[in-house]
């Protein structure tokens, strides 16, 4: 069946038509668009940033085995960057290092990659090879999602004001989601948890000290350094929620890294950017309203400690892509109507893991947060984890 036959694309009275509008061109939005395009389902992706920005945007990158298998099943494994299969590095407790992870060629393992690598590969595949429709630098996105009517998505760009009629809209536009904000008040229930501390996140011009990642807990607080590519890494330092980036000059960043990792030999490096990120967990239920569906950070936020954000978003993509194909190609909306019910159990499972991991890594560090009793309990749990890993 041709793409035109599937969705009867065309222009009527100056208004475009397509099967699916995707808001947001991050990993989730581009992966969904690539899956749909590969299946002959037309879609339009709207992105408020320019292409250069989203390809350069530094984000974490570790694909779990389930995500790797998803790309393999779609015969798109070539989009995953080459390199080590499994993330590896160290966990340090008061300077004492313990290795974690391994590198191998087992297809069931995860794959390390930075998000900008995957985004660049997806854009190249979707636009250059598949002729996909991704529109950058859009503004004033509006969504009309009325009962008994097809959704209408409006936006503006340098060419003026535009309107698209579609069968479905998928919001992949992050924690400050424009898509989610179009849902009427009272429809969604927001569940959230504030951890009470933040991370100073700094992009630095230095490779990680050990492997691809290093995490450390000490009496001075949590620290981490994760690779973002050749001679680039992201440094994370536990800090107060009230801190600002200006409170963390380069000298203080490297002083705290050396202190918390227990290594005075670590040299300074250029700090390219820095932000303060309050740690929180958020879930919105349901993840859909009429013909609008929320994916990834638009529906849920997890703290970065467990590296679950991208993988959870890709699981949402796996669920919604199958549901959209059944609806558009077969006229069966059964899977679409149960999208939220299908996705949410996994969301809460990963929230539980991420919250537990975050509490573990921070409780075992600076005792000022929750006291020395919690610190000793958390360090005992870490020791048990390594003991179990040996068997």
The pLDDT assigned to 390 comes to 60
* 97 located within any domain: no
**Do 116 and 25 have their domain in common?**
yes
- Give 36-55 pLDDT, tens digit per residue: 999 999 999 999 999 999 99
Which residues span the domain enclosing 41? 3-87+107-191+280-353
Burial of 231 (0-12, 13-18, 19+ CB in 10 A): exposed
- Give 309-360 pLDDT, tens digit per residue: 999 999 999 999 999 999 999 999 999 999 999 999 999 999 999 999 999 9
CA distance 225 to 51: 27
Q: Are 336 and 327 in contact (CB under 8 A)?
A: yes
**Considering only 63-72, 204-213, 284-293, which range has the smallest mean pLDDT?**
204-213
Number of domains in the chain: 2
Q: What is the mean pLDDT of residues 208-227?
A: 84
Buried b (16+ CB within 10 A) or exposed e, 347-380: beebbeebbebbbbbbbbbbbebeeeeebeebbe
- Give 269-317 pLDDT, tens digit per residue: 999 999 999 999 999 999 999 999 999 999 999 998 888 999 999 999 9
**Do 307 and 207 have their domain in common?**
no
C-alpha 391 chain-centroid distance:
32
**Do 42 and 144 have their domain in common?**
yes
* 305 located within any domain: yes
* 359 located within any domain: no
The pLDDT assigned to 82 comes to 66
The pLDDT assigned to 368 comes to 84
**Do 375 and 227 have their domain in common?**
yes
* 375 located within any domain: yes
CA diameter of the chain = 69
Q: Above pLDDT 70, what percent of the chain?
A: 89
The pLDDT assigned to 105 comes to 41
**Do 74 and 215 have their domain in common?**
no
- Residue 274 backbone phi and psi in degrees, to 5: -155, 145
Q: Above pLDDT 90, what percent of the chain?
A: 72
* 361 located within any domain: no
**Do 210 and 145 have their domain in common?**
no
**Do 184 and 51 have their domain in common?**
yes
**Do 265 and 287 have their domain in common?**
no
**Do 206 and 342 have their domain in common?**
no
**Do 44 and 144 have their domain in common?**
yes
CATH number at residue 255: 3.30.9.10
**Do 9 and 129 have their domain in common?**
yes
């Amino acid at each position: 069946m041709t793409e035109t036959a599937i969705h009867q694309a065309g222009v009527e009275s100056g208004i475009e038509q397509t099967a699916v509008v995707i808001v947001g061109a991050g990993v989730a939005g581009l992966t969904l668009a690539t899956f749909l395009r590969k299946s002959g389902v037309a879609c339009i992706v709207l992105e408020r940033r320019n292409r250069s920005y989203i390809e350069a945007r530094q984000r974490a990158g570790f694909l779990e085995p389930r995500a790797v298998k998803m790309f393999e099943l779609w015969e798109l494994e070539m989009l995953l960057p080459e390199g080590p299969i499994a993330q590896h590095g160290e966990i340090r407790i008061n300077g004492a290092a313990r290795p974690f992870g391994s590198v191998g060629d087992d297809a069931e393992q995860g794959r390390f990659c930075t998000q900008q690598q995957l985004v660049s590969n997806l854009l190249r595949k979707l636009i250059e090879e598949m002729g996909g429709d991704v529109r950058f630098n859009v503004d004033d996105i509006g969504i009309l999602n009325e009962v008994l009517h097809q959704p209408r998505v409006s936006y503006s760009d340098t060419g003026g004001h535009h309107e698209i009629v579609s069968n479905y809209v998928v919001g992949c536009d992050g924690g400050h989601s424009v898509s989610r904000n179009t849902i009427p008040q009272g429809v969604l229930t927001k569940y959230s948890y504030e951890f009470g501390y933040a991370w100073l996140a700094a992009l630095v011009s230095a490779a990680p000290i050990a492997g691809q990642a290093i995490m450390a807990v000490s009496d001075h607080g949590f620290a981490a350094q994760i690779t973002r590519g050749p001679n680039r890494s992201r440094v994370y330092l536990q800090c107060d929620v009230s801190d600002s980036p200006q409170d963390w000059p380069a000298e203080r960043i490297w002083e705290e890294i050396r202190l918390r990792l227990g290594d005075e030999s670590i040299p300074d490096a250029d700090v390219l950017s820095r932000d303060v990120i309050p740690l929180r967990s958020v879930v919105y239920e349901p993840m859909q309203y009429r013909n609008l569906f929320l994916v990834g950070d638009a529906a849920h936020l997890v703290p970065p400690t467990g590296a679950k954000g991208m993988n959870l978003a890709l699981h949402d993509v796996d669920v919604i892509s199958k549901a959209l194909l059944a609806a558009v190609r077969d006229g069966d909306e059964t899977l679409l109507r149960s999208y939220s019910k299908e996705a949410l159990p996994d969301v809460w499972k990963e929230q539980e893991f991420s919250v537990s991991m975050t509490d573990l890594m921070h409780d075992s560090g600076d005792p000022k947060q929750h006291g020395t009793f919690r610190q000793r309990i958390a360090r005992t749990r870490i020791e048990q984890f390594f003991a179990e890993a040996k068997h």
